[in-house]
Structure 1
Amino acid sequence: MTDRDDIVEALAVVAAAIDARDWDTLRARFTPDTVAYGARGVDGLVAQLEAFIGGVGVTQHLLGNHRVTVDGDTARSLTYGRIHHVGAGPREGAFYECMGEYDDHWVRTDAGWQISRRWFEIRIELGDVAVLRPAQ
């Protein structure tokens, strides 16, 4: 596989890990000192995700339109994302969906390509953002 293929595959693994709440797999795809969604460090990232989707029902992260630029042992990917969140508990029956673009910076490590910085720019929102909530 090419570096581009490896990064696109890693993006799919990250999306599936978030949907499965598989935090160990997610941790393996980010550098320990990552900055993602405003959180610092991989532990901060996991804590932030748990705070936003820990009390959500099913989620599905759909990715596409990958643009990957590799420069030696660093890379940048821009990827469209459409993320659907199903409400649970008091928000059962509601949904929140956002669409936008992931901007990821990557470094090649002994463990493979890892995200060192991630940002998601939301461009479209549908539904009830109050669906996002921590586990009770």
Structure 2
Amino acid sequence: MITDSRDERDIYRNIVLIARAMDERNWGEIEKLAVPDATGDFGDGAVSSAAEIAALLRRYLDDCGPTQHLIGNVVIDVTGDTATSRAYVADMHLGVGDLEGQYFRTLGDYHDSWARTADGWKLTDRTKHHSGMMGNIAILAHAMN
């Protein structure tokens, strides 16, 4: 099947926009880029709405210093009005306060599902597969609770 390259471009853009929204702490943007009943699993249990995804990410990142979620090696497969994507993620989280000068990094792979909506491509599911972690996990306050 021939895929319209605009679909792949639009999905790729949304993958990057979600990563940037995490780094910019723009939780509304994350909800906007997903369907309301989007599901996800970031390694500590399933969530079942776009609002829950944003809330989980917020718990991880709100008390953290600057972050960068770098995306690479993206593979997108479009079939009609649905799509799947896989994208490597290498993220860096810097500590603040007593943890200033320390970091926590993860390496992983986002496995996403997408749906074409009247408002464009929206995330329907994201699962993060972790392949490595290094540094001080205490930087992610939620991970220690």
- State the TM-score, normalized to the length of structure 2: 0.89
Say whether residues 1:12 and 2:20 are aligned partners: no
Q: Which amino acid aligns with 2:94?
A: V
Say whether residues 1:62 and 2:66 are aligned partners: no
Say whether residues 1:83 and 2:87 are aligned partners: no
- State the TM-score, normalized to the length of structure 1: 0.94
> Residues 31-78 of structure 1, C-alpha deviation per residue, up to 9 Å, x if partnerless?
100111221111111111111111000000100101000000000000
Q: Name the CA distance, whole Å, in 2 between partners of 1:21 and 1:110.
A: 26
- Where does 1:1-136 land on structure 2 (aligned, <5 Å)? 2-37=6-41, 38-133=46-141
Aligned Cα root-mean-square deviation (Å):
1.1
How far does residue 16 in structure 1 lie from its aligned partner after superposition?
0.5
Q: Name the CA distance, whole Å, in 1 between partners of 2:10 and 2:114.
A: 11
List structure 1 runs of 4+ shifted beyond 3 angstroms. Answer: none
How far does residue 89 in structure 1 lie from its aligned partner after superposition?
2.2
Where do 5+ consecutive residues of structure 1 fail to align?
none
Where do 5+ consecutive residues of structure 2 fail to align?
none
Q: Please, which moves more after superposition, 101-110 or 44-53? A: 44-53
